[in-house]
Every structure is written in C-alpha cells, then in structure tokens.
Amino acid sequence: GATELLHIFISAADDDIRPGTTGVPVPGWQAKVVDEHGEELPDGEPGLLAVRGPVGCRYLADPRQTEYVRHGWNMTGDTFVREPDGYFRYVARADDMIISSGYNIAGPEVEDALLRHPEVAEAAVVGRADELRGEIVVAHVVLTKGSE
C-alpha cells in the first residue's frame, strides 16, 4: 500500500491546488489508474491507483508481494479517478468499493450521505453478494435517541 512507499507521490502545491483532487504526480513519480488486471483505464473511470518512482519498500519473502507490486508498479490499495487534466481524485480504499451492476459505489460516500440525515447517529455500508448484480449495497443504521 501507500504506507510502504515511504514517500508522497501525488500532491499539489499552492497555486496548483484544485478542490476535490489530491493533485498530480510529484517529480520522479508516475501514476496511473488501472483495472483489476493492471490495464490502464481511460480518464474519468474509477480504478486502482498504481504508482512507481525512485523509492519504496518491499516485504521480503512475502507471497502477498505479487499483489502489491505488478510489473514494477506499486498497487496502493486505493481507488482513484484520473481527471482529463491529469489531476487525480481519491474515491475510497479499494476494499471499500462495492461493485453493483457494473457501477463502482464508494461505501464511505454512502455512509457520509446517511450521516447527514439528522436522525442518523451511526452508519456502516457493506456490499452483500447478489446473484444478479454481483453485489448490492446494504446499510446498517443506528438512529439518534428519540428517533423512530
């Protein structure tokens, strides 16, 4: 993941900050958004963030290494979208994504929407296997005291 890289690889400085985005690759680093097979996705499509650069850390004799590094690209475990102007936008941790009928749904975004309701105290969203859609969104909600 990103922690093992020991370096900031996407950022924006002062005049380059664009609200809602993380930024662009810093000098010496490359970044792309890929599908589960490592194929680069077009701009605007959510996928896995893959980065490579001059530093990083690997796990010695760890079979999971093939998940973290593919063809020289470090898989961060994050879902991002690359905007047409080259800026990257964070969506969610890859394991927080729910894929339903081909749509990528960020669990944290659904939770955030639920928590904005005045009668919702807590919310957790998960994907549940569904034969027709692949997964469906399931929300677990705790109401505020006095709500029904």
Task: Tell me: do 86 and 104 sit in the same domain.
Answer: no
High-pLDDT (> 90) share of the chain, %: 41
> Over 60: is that where the pLDDT of 139 sits?
yes
* Tens-place pLDDT, residues 51-91: 998 876 666 677 766 667 778 888 888 889 999 999 999 88
User: Given 92, 113, 131, which residue is the final one in a domain?
Assistant: 92
High-pLDDT (> 70) share of the chain, %: 89
Average pLDDT estimate for 38-58: 87
> Over 70: is that where the pLDDT of 32 sits?
yes
Confidence band of 25 (pLDDT split at 50, 70, 90): very high
Task: Tell me: do 127 and 113 sit in the same domain.
Answer: yes
Q: Which domain range does residue 138 map to?
A: 97-143
Strands 73-82 and 47-52: antiparallel
> Over 70: is that where the pLDDT of 111 sits?
yes
**b/e for 10-20, b at 16 or more Cβ within 10 A?**
beeeeeeeeee
pTM over 0.85: no
Q: Quick check: is 148 in a domain?
A: no
**DSSP-assigned states of every residue in 10-65:** EE--GGG--TT--BEEPTT-EEEEE-TTSPBPPTT--EEEEEE-S-----TT-TTH
Task: Tell me: do 64 and 21 sit in the same domain.
Answer: yes
